[in-house]
Amino acid sequence: MATEITWLGHNTWFVESGSHRILIDPFLDDSPTAPRKAGAIETDSILVSHGHYDHLSDAVNIAARTGAQVIGNYEICQWLKKQGVAEEKTLAMNLGGSVHLPFGRLTMTLAHHSSSLPDGTYGGTACGFLIQFVSGGRIYFACDTALFLEMKLIGMNKIDMAMLPIGDLFTMGPDESVEAIKFLNPKKVVPCHYNTWPPIVQDAEAWAAKVQRHSAADPILLEPGEHVTV
Ligand code: NI
Ligand code: MN
């Protein structure tokens, strides 16, 4: 029993936990770094952190083909229904809420970021995800966010692994992410939302060295397509 998490570039993650498959923030066919196309994904659940294109561009097509349940905030679920996703295939949540699902307990956590949908409509509030997997591992996906002090509250849960953006410009950058790690105190940390395009290129090796100098967390660098086991 283990949880295996594959980085598909940017903030797209494919989680296999026990017999469950969860896809987070699907951005594949238009991503310059994704190692797989949307048509190659089989999944049971899709989590969407906010309305920006680089987090949900393939949500509707993968949901339509696989019949996966799509989980996001209320506004994103309303938009999904307008795109043809069946109401019973959506699960609307909001910040601070938790739900028990077959794969584990999912909490929608605070994020500081905007969230408009591709058609310009209001996408609700951006979020992160904290998941306690039934098959083992408590994982925090910060998704797109600035550094914020309430990460200390999220860190009161014993986090096995945190996925943090380090790209800067649209999210926190490498230095802020090291402060985030001090608040969150995860055992392991994996960077994301960098090197997708030139404006968010970062030196991940330098970031990892800084994490080791300033925190107790073990930094893990992945290439798109590589996975970690929790
Ligand atoms: Ni965004
Ligand atoms: Mn983004």
Beta bridge partners of 154: none
Asked if 170 contacts 144 with a C-beta cutoff of 8 angstroms, the reply is yes
**Domain contains 227:** no
pTM beyond 0.75 = yes
- Residue 128: what pLDDT? 98
CATH number at residue 143: 3.60.15.10
Asked if 186 contacts 156 with a C-beta cutoff of 8 angstroms, the reply is no
Residue 137: which of 168, 112, 106, 99 has the closest Cα?
Answer: 106
CB-based neighbours (< 5 A) of ligand 1, an ion: 52, 144
- 1: confidence class by pLDDT, cuts 50, 70, 90: low
User: Running DSSP on this structure, what letter comes out for residue 193?
Assistant: S
Rounded to an integer, what distance in angstroms lies between the CA atom of residue 85 and that of residue 46?
12
**Domain contains 226:** no
CA of 74 to the centre of ligand 1 (A): 17
Q: What is the mean pLDDT of residues 74-96?
A: 98
Dihedral sign from CA coordinates of 204, 138, 156, 154: positive
**Domain contains 124:** yes
User: Total domain count for the chain?
Assistant: 1
**Domain contains 230:** no
Rounded to an integer, what distance in angstroms lies between the CA atom of residue 57 and that of residue 55?
6
**Domain contains 72:** yes
Provide the residue range defining the domain that includes 125.
Answer: 3-221
Rounded to an integer, what distance in angstroms lies between the CA atom of residue 124 and that of residue 135?
31
Residue 130: which of 76, 62, 169, 186 has the closest Cα?
Answer: 186
Q: Which ligand is nearest to the CA of 114?
A: 1
Per-residue pLDDT tens digits for 4-61: 999 999 999 999 999 999 999 999 999 999 999 999 999 999 999 999 999 999 999 9
User: Running DSSP on this structure, what letter comes out for residue 200?
Assistant: G
Q: In this model, does residue 139 exceed pLDDT 90?
A: yes
- Output the DSSP codes for 17-51: ETTEEEEES---TT-SS-SS-GGG---SEEE--SS
CA of 144 to the centre of ligand 1 (A): 5
Helices (H), 48-203: 53-56, 59-66, 74-82, 151-154, 174-184
Rounded to an integer, what distance in angstroms lies between the CA atom of residue 190 and that of residue 165?
9
CA of 1 to the centre of ligand 1 (A): 33
